[in-house]
Structure 1
Amino acid sequence: MATNEQERASSREFWMQAAITYGYIFLWIFLSAMVIMVNKYVLTYAGFPFPISLTLTHMAFCSTLAFVLIKAGVVETAHMDRSTYVRNVVPIAALFSGTLWLGNAAYLYLSVAFIQMLKATMPVTVFLVGVLLGTEKYSALYAANMVVVAVGVAAASYGELNFNVLGVLFQAGSIVTESFRLCLVQLLLQARGIKLNPVTTLYYIAPACFAFLCLPFSVVELPKMLKTQEAWQVPSGWLLLSAVSAFALNMSVFLLIGRSSALTMNIAGVIKDWLLILLSVTLYGSPVTSLQLCGYGVAFLGVCWYNYQKLQGARQQPAPARPLDVEKQALLSPTQRGGRE
């Protein structure tokens, strides 16, 4: 009798934990898609074509909320002296601000669907930057995977009906800066044992990002905003929704990393990417050709095989405990991580 009760209790606990885990996955997919779709709407359809200003509102909101949470004692902070902050955090913040600015700017010229296809090149750039900075070892097999991904993305680009060179350059710049950021996180933070949760990450990085973005804002966007005051408006409600969603996305990434394996996160990322393509076609009428889908399918298979090889390698060579699981974080696309639009 006692054994049956224990089995039932164990079964209830299993299903409860499974429900919580899949709830976190659904929440992360939902928030990630929401941030991207709202940003696209604000920049393209709401009469506010200013990606730097949009990113500044995110950084200001996240900085303020993180400051309040830490000063109120809700979240513990990692103490960091000025020298460590300048040498280790500021370079990462500079790259992060570039990632967000350039990534948001791409929405002015490209569809969400095509941008998601271009993001399939992230493993290629992370691998190349990792080899350059010494965080990755060169492998002919990995390099062959990268060629497959690059060919697939090239085919998807060739099939894009509304191809825009400037938009592709913005998105490529975002991918490159994000690749360098990921490698520097590993070199500058994990190697020194600095542990930052999502709130403390925003507490330290978001203000620096805001400061970095003020320079291009004052040179690029502010003169344009002043010159065309009657041609644009501030969609305050949409901007607030975008900022709240971006902050919530940071929290959901932390929850997901804590409860899921890298493989689960990768599968969830695939579902999110295909969902965004579908939403882009459905909500914004983005044209997607058969050649694009075939090319993206080839790139997708290359990325899956690359991730599988990375996971197999990680299992064969157990690493010591680290403050943050880089492998899990690297499997998420740039718009799925911290702000991470």
Structure 2
Amino acid sequence: MGKGGSLSEGVMKKIVLSYSYVAIWIFLSFSVIVYNKYILDKKMYNWPFPISLTMIHMSFCATLAILLVRVLRIVEPVSMSRHVYLSSVVPIGALYSLSLWLSNSAYIYLSVSFIQMLKALMPVAVYSIGVLLRKESYKNDTMFNMLSISLGVGVAAYGEARFDAWGVLLQLGAVAFEATRLVMIQILLTSKGISLNPITSLYYVAPCCLVFLSIPWIFVEYPVLRDTSSFHFDFVIFGTNSFCAFALNLAVFLLVGKTSALTMNVAGVVKDWLLIAFSWSVIKDTVTPINLFGYGLAFLGVAYYNHSKLQALKAKEAQKKTAQPDEEEGSLLQDRDDNKRNDQQN
């Protein structure tokens, strides 16, 4: 604090940068979601091939990542054995490909606003899978919080004017696979001391995604594209769409690396409300009062969950600060005892 209680220039700079990272992430995430919806929706660009679109994204991201790591050497590759790659990176790549495939497929059947409401189940899925895999400890109050979020999403689904059971199943599957991927990253990579930034993660994961996606693509979309589509690759549409997807990965790294994962969760709630408003006002999707009431309940549950995580982080940091002086005092006492013993021996 400066004179008169004003914030110092350094603090103000950090605040401005933090809000800038949040704004960039929201803008890019917003853009990728709306752009994918535009390409896949039959009433818009009308190219309903989600596997192909995801493979285009992964090809673009893998090519740029290889260029930055192997050719330009801007980023150093991570030292990783073949065993670690096969046992850790490959499963994560498989989960990521399934998550992207199903989430993009959902845009064909559901409105942007309703998809954002269903995504509110992500904390529920992450916590539940974490408990099942013994990464999280079970707590009654946390589970009650998860049930309140689920109830809110259920009410929103009940009030959805354009409800499609297959689309809901696809989006719920995407949430489940993404939540499993996030937990597996903690278990498989963090436990081995491996840290991947977005460029190195795309360098290792994107080729895996391409291999896994090519299997369903050969049987599901390739025959249709070969026999019925007069598709000509639009470099402007698919190029800018893929670039946005790559930039979003960098924005995630900036936001989490320079602020915290909790900040990203809070920013995600803001982004969801903006997308719901955009979907209703611009795309003209129907948003019912029951939709909003249900998502409002889920929103309160997610907000309480984020608040609880923040309090837990503060308590952990406070515990570290109180433990540090005790450790220093213990070290000083140990040094004093050692010096006494040395004096007696001399």
TM-score range, shorter chain: 0.7 to 0.9
Q: Which residue of 2 aligns with 1:157?
A: 157
Q: Which residue of 1 aligns with 2:33?
A: 36
Q: Which residue of 2 aligns with 1:339?
A: none
Q: Could you say which structure has the larger radius of gyration? A: 2
Q: Which residue of 1 aligns with 2:186?
A: 186
| TM-score, length-scaled by structure 2 | 0.86
| 2:114 paired with 1:114 | yes
- SS of equivalent residue, structure 2 residue 78: coil
Q: Which residue of 2 aligns with 1:15?
A: 12
After superposition, where does 1:90-239 map in structure 2 within 5 Å? 90-230=90-230, 234-239=233-238
- SS of equivalent residue, structure 1 residue 173: helix
Aligned CA RMSD, in angstroms, stands at 1.9
Greater shift in the superposed pair: 85-94 or 305-314: 305-314
Relative to structure 1, is the Cα distance of residues 307 and 20 closer, same or farther in structure 2, using a 3 angstrom cutoff? Answer: closer
| 2:47 paired with 1:48 | yes
Q: Is the 8 A contact 2:280 2:287 kept in 1?
A: yes
Q: Which runs of 5+ in 2 are unaligned?
A: 321-346
AA partner of residue 223 (structure 2): P
Q: Distance in 1 between matches of 2:290 and 2:46?
A: 32
Greater shift in the superposed pair: 236-245 or 261-270: 261-270
- Structure number with higher relative contact order (C-alpha < 8 Å, ≥ 6 residues apart): 1
TM-superposed CA distance for 1:17, in Å, is 3.0
Relative to structure 1, is the Cα distance of residues 233 and 297 closer, same or farther in structure 2, using a 3 angstrom cutoff? Answer: farther
Q: Is the 8 A contact 1:63 1:202 kept in 2?
A: yes
TM-superposed CA distance for 1:311, in Å, is 2.5
Q: Is the 8 A contact 1:63 1:203 kept in 2?
A: yes
Identity level (%): 47
Q: Distance in 1 between matches of 2:312 and 2:21?
A: 27
Question: Which stretches of structure 1, 4 residues or longer, exceed 4 Å deviation after superposition?
Answer: none
TM-superposed CA distance for 1:262, in Å, is 4.3
TM-superposed CA distance for 1:310, in Å, is 2.3
Give the paired residue count.
Answer: 314
- SS of equivalent residue, structure 1 residue 317: helix
Query: Can you list the C-alpha shifts for 1:211-264, whole angstroms capped at 9, x where unaligned?
Result: 10000100111111122124x554432211111001101111111112224443
TM-superposed CA distance for 1:139, in Å, is 0.8
AA partner of residue 90 (structure 2): V
| TM-score, length-scaled by structure 1 | 0.88
Relative to structure 1, is the Cα distance of residues 128 and 14 closer, same or farther in structure 2, using a 3 angstrom cutoff? Answer: closer
